[in-house]
Structures are given as structure tokens and as C-alpha cells.
Amino acid sequence: MSTKKKPKLAVWKFASCDGCQLSLLDCEDELLAVAGEVHIANFPEASRAVVRGPYDISLVEGSITTPHDAERIHKIRRVSKSLITIGACATAGGIQSLRNFKDVRDFISIVYASPQFIDTLNKSTAISDHVTVDFELRGCPINKYQLVELINATLNGRKPNIPTYSVCVECKRKGIVCVMVAAGTPCLGPVTQAGCGALCPSYNRGCYSCFGPKETPNTTSLGAWFEHLNVPKDDIVRAFRGFNAYAEPFRKESEAYEK
């Protein structure tokens, strides 16, 4: 038996809450097994030890919001064989992309007394706006089992089994009564990519789209249904301006309602 070198995994952080990388540490049953298969070479949240690149897999969390980070992501791309974004911030700009709809200078003065100390870009943008991304894992936060599946697939050179259909499909499979049809609760499930296991509807709540737009979402139709349910226009804007506000289909729909 040859002692095959273990593939190297790195975790990188940009503007984010740390929740998606924490998902890796939350794999209590799988963590030691994953650590047996890959060499965790750069994961500051978990370890002081840093092994130099290049890395086989880079997991990138967070969005680009500063001039320095816009440079840093290119360096990371250069040392990464496969670059995977994890979560809504890295994939769509995250909740902090709400600044993109306003003037960021107003925002700085609301939070900080001495705005001259703050160095920030006008917009919070997805990693794919800056570099080529090999796979985008959705969610706010990501689903940890999808993460393990994605690492497994990448290591074995196969396509990950991560569906792109809507939350509605998960709801039907779980046998949950439709919250919109039965209770008149506005729900973003029809335009949102599956992955959470239809969590909110299973707790009697409408989906608020942690996983962002599904493939070919008909947001216009859903907006019309919301109006039909007497949802005020400013609440429709808020609904599409959540954790994936700057994902194109959602951005366009919220802007249409703002006019």
C-alpha cells in the first residue's frame, strides 16, 4: 500500500457570521471521519496550524465588501484547485448586500462615530463576481449534510447530489400541508431552492428563502399571488430583500415593486 498524500482543505472567511464554517464543526458525527480523509490545512476557526498552499479544496465563506478583500480573493483562487463558496453571503452577497440598494456612506455614519476610519466598498458582492467559482453551496446557513456530500463528491471527482428544484418539492415529499394554500401565509418556497428540508413550512411558517432563487424561478407570478393575499407592496419588497437580496431574480422583483 502506498501512503497516498491526503488532499488539502482550506477554509477562508470574508464578510459573514461564521455560521457556515461552523457547520463543519457542527458535523459532530462526521468531523473526525472527514479529518481522516482530508488534511485540514488552513482553518483558523479550528486550528493554529497553517500549511502552505496550494490547496485541493478551498471553502469560501462571506461576501466581498472591502478593497483589501477584493484583492485577497484572487490570491486564494490562485492557490486553489477547486474553489467552493459556502452560504448566501459568498454566493449572493448575503444580508449585508442590503447596502447595495442605498448609499453606503449613510450607513457608515449611522453605525460609526468616526467614518474616516472605515474602509468599505459601495456594494457587498458574491465571490463569483470576482473570480471563477467551481461550485456554489446555498443556504443561510448551509445544510451540513450537503457540505459533507459536496466534499465527498469533489474528492472523488463526481457530480454532487444537490438538487436545484424548489422547496415545494421537499414540502410535498414530507407531506406538509401548503401554508400558502391552506392558511394564506405568504411563502417564498415556490421560488426558493431546496436544501433545508422545507423547515419553515414544517413549523407552520412561510419560507423566507435562506437558500435563494431556484433554477428558473417565476418571481413575478409569486409576487402577484402575494398581492392576491393582500400583502402590502412594501412587505413584498422586504420579502424579496432578505438573505439573498442581491441574487438577480430577487433583486429585480424587489426593484419592480419599489417603483
Question: What is the smallest separation between the CB atom of 2 and other proteins, expressed in angstroms?
Answer: 22
One residue of 2, 3, 5, 117 binding other proteins per CB under 8 A: 117
Residue 119 CA: distances (Å) to CA of 15, 63, 68, 97, 223: 13, 15, 9, 16, 37
Q: Tell which residue, 60, 43, 59, has the closest CA to residue 51.
A: 43
Smallest distance, Å, CB 159 to other proteins? 26
Among 65, 80, 125, 209, binds other proteins (CB under 8 A): 65
Under the criterion CB under 8 A, does residue 184 sit at the interface with other proteins? no
Indicate whether 120 belongs to the interface with other proteins (CB under 8 A).
yes
Give the separation between CA 128 and CA 145, rounded to whole angstroms: 23
Please list, in sequence order, all residues whose beta carbon lies within 8 angstroms of the beta carbon of residue 79, skipping any fewer than 6 positions away. Answer: 10, 53, 54, 55, 58
User: Which residue in 2, 3, 52, 114 binds other proteins (CB under 8 A)?
Assistant: 114
Q: Is 10 in the site for other proteins (CB under 8 A)?
A: no
Contacts of 169 (CB under 8 A, 6+ apart): 163, 194
99 near other proteins (CB under 8 A):
yes
CB 125 within 8 A of CB 93: yes
E strand or H helix at 168, and its extent?
helix 167-174
Residue 47 as a binder of other proteins (CB under 8 A): the answer is: yes
Tell whether residue 26 is a contact of other proteins (CB under 8 A): yes
92 binds other proteins per the rule CB under 8 A: no
Q: What is the largest distance, in Å, between two alpha-carbon atoms of the chain?
A: 67
Q: Which residues bind other proteins (CB under 8 A)?
A: 13-20, 22-23, 25-26, 28-29, 31-32, 35, 40, 44-50, 65-66, 69, 94-96, 98-99, 102, 104, 106-108, 110-114, 117-118, 120, 124, 140-141, 196, 199-200, 202-205, 208, 210, 235, 238, 243
